[in-house]
């Protein structure tokens, strides 16, 4: 099937004139979307999920063929994608996400009267979204960025990832059908194929674009961030750019369970061939006999894991290059690698773990870089001061993990505080791989994990990236948004004169 012929909102390497028209059409759609009720927008999101499921094997097979991911992973990711859409639908149906805040007038206040002030979040307009290579569904065409932007009343111009163009087309077709079913503006969603360096940058630079959602490398994310900042009207770029996700394994954990933790982390390091932004790429461990035992068991477990197919040749080449750079650094020792030869060395990534002393690690920034693939570096520290230095040498992270007993946390409070200052999510006795989609999840962190650590790309708070507060002063009741009217017709939670309430204002 020629999907391109079935959809009016898919463009391939559009000309300057075509890009201008599609951006203007998207703007007109955003003007309609911003005034639609939460119920209408929720129906749209649910319909997108239904249409994605209706694609059946066409979508699953396309995603498998283009990404190299197995059927189980694609089916699971499809479920997550639909679940995200339904989660945002529930959020906007309920409506309290707009953070309505009301301070009623006090006309007889002395020495000056107090005006009536009412504030809520409003959509930004046209949002540019860039798909991720490692999640062809959940972080792509109808993924979390698109779902949260549409939920907030914005239109979306999606830059398709070149790694899965057919998959993107199928999902775009599902979105178009859902828009038609639910009476949404025709150009609420637009998919654009083409080079990131030309088409992608042109979208970000276009004056109609009001925000950017991006998941990918620090290199590409920084280009978009800088472009957006250099515009006549700078706009926010919410880029999630990965990290090495340090894991602090306290001595007590090694005393009690070194072998089990080694097996657990061998599985986490190689999960999805290491192609997760939360892959544990750094293990901090106190040098000594128990560290030797942990390293032995980790290396043994890694040797038993066969190389596996990565997303595509470009990702595999990137893994090879960054791995080679890491392993050629002074003081690095490979302690474990897969004992199985790759069937296809051009696409399969081989699991590898290496070791280095903390002093060498601290002094060499090359060792602080992410290696996107099934790799992790074991850093051996000799004392708590050296551990603290190693943590303080790190930049921002998406996650940090502490393995140990509850009583030991106080003893290492300085190191834990240093980790907390550098991460968006801190985990106790677990693994960082696996990101729950729920209101309490924060998937972001200090730069370069993300460009704005105050915001998450996963969970319901992701909607707040694509909205801005607007305050209405002394505005007539009849012209206020329903969320701010005295009657509270939507029955949402509001902060009224410093008290949370769903009651009407008398």
- Whether omega for the bond prior to residue 53 falls within 30 degrees of 0, making it cis, is no
Closest CA to 292 of 216, 365, 378: 378
CB 98 within 8 Å of CB 120 = yes
Sign of the four-CA dihedral 160, 164, 169, 175 = negative
CB 463 within 8 Å of CB 211 = no
CB 68 within 8 Å of CB 315 = no
CB 130 within 8 Å of CB 451 = no
Instruction: Tell me the β-bridge partners of 467.
Output: 123
How many whole angstroms separate alpha carbon 252 and alpha carbon 246?
18
CB 503 within 8 Å of CB 486 = no
How many whole angstroms separate alpha carbon 164 and alpha carbon 65?
9
Counted residue by residue, the chain has a size of 506
Structure tokens at 235: 């706009």
How many whole angstroms separate alpha carbon 43 and alpha carbon 153?
13
Sign of the four-CA dihedral 268, 269, 272, 275 = positive
Query: Among all residues, which ones are annotated catalytic?
Result: 240, 277
How many whole angstroms separate alpha carbon 346 and alpha carbon 349?
8
Closest CA to 415 of 357, 358, 333, 353: 358
Sign of the four-CA dihedral 295, 301, 304, 307 = negative
Buried/exposed 227-244: b ≥16 CB within 10 Å, e otherwise? bbeeeeeebbbbbbbbbb
The region, left, alpha or beta by phi > 0 then psi within -120 to 50, assigned to residue 21 is alpha
Phi, psi at 491, each rounded to 5°? 55, 40
Structure tokens at 432: 């960082």
CB 235 within 8 Å of CB 208 = no
Place of tokens 């077709």: 173
Helix (H, G, I), strand (E, B) or coil at 127: strand
Structure tokens at 245: 């996700």
């Amino acid at each position: 099937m020629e999907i391109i012929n079935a959809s009016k909102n898919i463009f391939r390497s559009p000309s300057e004139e075509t890009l201008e028209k599609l951006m203007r059409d998207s703007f007109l759609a955003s003007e309609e979307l911003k005034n639609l009720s939460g119920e209408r927008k929720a129906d749209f999101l649910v319909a997108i999920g239904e249409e994605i499921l209706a694609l059946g094997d066409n979508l699953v097979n396309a995603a498998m063929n283009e990404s190299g991911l197995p059927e189980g992973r694609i089916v699971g990711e499809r479920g997550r994608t639909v679940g995200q859409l339904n989660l945002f639908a529930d959020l906007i149906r309920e409506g309290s996400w707009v953070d309505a805040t009301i301070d009623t007038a006090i006309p007889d206040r002395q020495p000056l009267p107090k005006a009536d002030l009412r504030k809520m979040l409003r959509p930004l307009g046209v949002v540019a979204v860039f798909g991720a290579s490692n999640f062809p569904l959940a972080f792509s065409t109808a993924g979390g960025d698109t779902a949260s932007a549409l939920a907030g009343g914005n239109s979306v111009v999606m830059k398709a990832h070149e790694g899965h163009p057919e998959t993107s087309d199928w999902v775009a077709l599902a979105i178009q059908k859902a828009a038609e079913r639910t009476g949404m503006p025709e150009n609420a969603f637009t998919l654009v194929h083409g080079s990131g360096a030309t088409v992608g940058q042109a979208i970000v630079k276009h004056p109609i674009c009001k925000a950017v959602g991006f998941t990918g490398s620090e290199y590409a994310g920084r280009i978009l961030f800088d472009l957006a900042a250099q515009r006549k009207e700078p706009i926010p770029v919410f880029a999630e750019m990965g990290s090495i996700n340090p894991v602090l394994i306290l001595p007590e954990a090694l005393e009690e369970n070194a072998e089990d933790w080694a097996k657990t982390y061998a599985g986490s390091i190689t999960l999805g061939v290491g192609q997760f932004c939360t892959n544990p790429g750094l293990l901090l461990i106190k040098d000594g006999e128990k560290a030797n035992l942990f390293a032995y068991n980790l290396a043994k477990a890694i040797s038993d894991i066969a190389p596996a197919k990565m997303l595509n040749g470009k990702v595999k080449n990137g893994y090879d290059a960054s791995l080679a750079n890491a392993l050629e650094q002074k003081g690095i020792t490979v302690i474990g690698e897969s004992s199985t030869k790759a069937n296809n060395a051009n696409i399969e990534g081989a699991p590898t773990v290496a070791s280095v002393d903390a002093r060498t690690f601290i002094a060499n920034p090359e060792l602080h870089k992410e290696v996107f693939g099934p790799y992790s570096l074991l850093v051996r520290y000799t004392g708590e001061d050296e551990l603290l230095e190693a943590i303080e040498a790190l930049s921002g992270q998406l996650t940090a993990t502490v393995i140990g007993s509850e009583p030991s946390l106080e003893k290492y409070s300085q190191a834990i505080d240093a980790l907390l200052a550098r991460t968006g999510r801190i985990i106790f006795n677990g693994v960082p791989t696996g990101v729950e989609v729920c209101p309490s999840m924060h998937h972001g962190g200090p730069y370069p994990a993300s460009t704005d650590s105050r915001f998450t790309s996963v969970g319901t708070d992701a909607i707040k990236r694509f909205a801005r507060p607007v305050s209405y002063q002394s505005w007539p009741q009849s012209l206020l948004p329903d969320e701010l009217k005295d009657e509270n017709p939507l029955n949402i939670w509001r902060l009224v004169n410093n008290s949370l309430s769903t009651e009407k204002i008398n």
